[in-house]
Amino acid sequence: MSQSLKDKRALVTGGSRGIGAAIVKRLAAEGANVALTYSSSPYRAAAVVKEAQALGVKCLAIQADSADSGAVVVALERTVTEFGGIDILVNNAGIAVFAPLAEFTLADFDRTVAINVRAVFVATQAALKHMKPGGRIINIGSTNAERMPIAGGAVYAMSKSALQGLVKGLARDLGPLQITINNVQPGPVATEMNPATGEFAESLKKLMALPRYASTDEIAGMVAYLASPEAGFVTGASLTIDGGFSA
């Protein structure tokens, strides 16, 4: 790796598995010290920490449910205390609840908004107190903000669409501070929770220009780019990486 992020200090929410874990390891490979939050997977989080530390950087796991605004702030503050500051915030934690409209509960609606939208705002606001010029804030959105091809996903799509407006607005607030903020919008990605094989996966592949799922490393690569010095003029953007799913 280029070590373009050497000695940078990062926090990745929801970093114990899937896309989040890949982002933690990619930032570590680029030289960043990384903290990650997890909700209920301490052993998975510990394994990611061990892999990152093997790359010669500092890494720690912090238990925090992103639905709890107080826990999000505490995780941010602990990252700053442990590393002496923060340069990169990756708002990756998210949930996806799919159900027919008549069966969608208000509790699931509220939790989706709390984790997918409110936690992003809370973490960004908390990071602003410590982030210096050159800081990077990167949200993991979804191509479903652009296209929701199946029933039952309205609330999830809404939550990811909200990030587009949030980023456009916050880019204006953060620009004078020389801090960038962007969304990465993945399409189908091969994870334990979303396998690249099976009837559902095959139905999605038929909607794509590139008929395959992305790897978590491909998503992490785009995040690493946005965190790097090369992306200093990119802000307020929602960058789709979906194999042509929304084309």
- Domain presence at residue 246: no
Domain assignment present for 122: yes
Show the domain range for 203: 9-241
Is residue 1 assigned to a domain?
A: no
Q: How many domains does the chain have?
A: 1
Would you place residue 2 in the very low, low, confident or very high pLDDT band (cuts 50, 70, 90)?
A: confident
Q: Can you tell me the distance from the alpha carbon of 45 to that of 62, in angstroms, rounded to the nearest whole number?
A: 9
Q: What is the pTM of this model?
A: 0.97
Choose among 33, 24, 89: nearest CA to 57: 33
Task: Tell me, yes or no, whether 202 lies in a domain.
Answer: yes
3-state secondary structure of 136: strand
Q: Going edge to edge, which strands form the sheet with 180-186? A: 59-63, 33-38, 9-12, 88-91, 136-140, 180-186, 238-241
Query: Over pLDDT 90: what percentage of the chain?
Result: 98
Residue 149 exposed, middle or buried by CB count within 10 Å (0-12, 13-18, 19+): exposed
Spatial separation of the C-alpha atoms in residues 178 and 144, rounded to whole Å: 29
Q: Tell me, what CATH number does 190's domain have? A: 3.40.50.720
User: Is the residue at 188 inside a domain?
Assistant: yes
Within a domain: residue 88? yes
- DSSP class of 144: G
The pair of three-digit structure tokens given for residue 35, joined into one six-digit string: 């903290």
Q: Could you tell me if residue 113 is inside a domain?
A: yes
69, two tokens: 């605004």
pLDDT tens-digit map of 123-176: 999 999 999 999 999 999 999 999 999 999 999 999 999 999 999 999 999 999
Domain annotation covers residue 3: no
| Among 38, 156, 213, 225, the one annotated catalytic | 156
Catalytic residue list contains 43: no
Name residue 6's beta-bridge partners. none
Give the separation between CA 207 and CA 134, rounded to whole angstroms.
38
Q: Please give the average per-residue pLDDT across 50-62, as a whole number.
A: 98
pLDDT attached to residue 193: 85
Q: Is the pLDDT of residue 1 over 70?
A: no
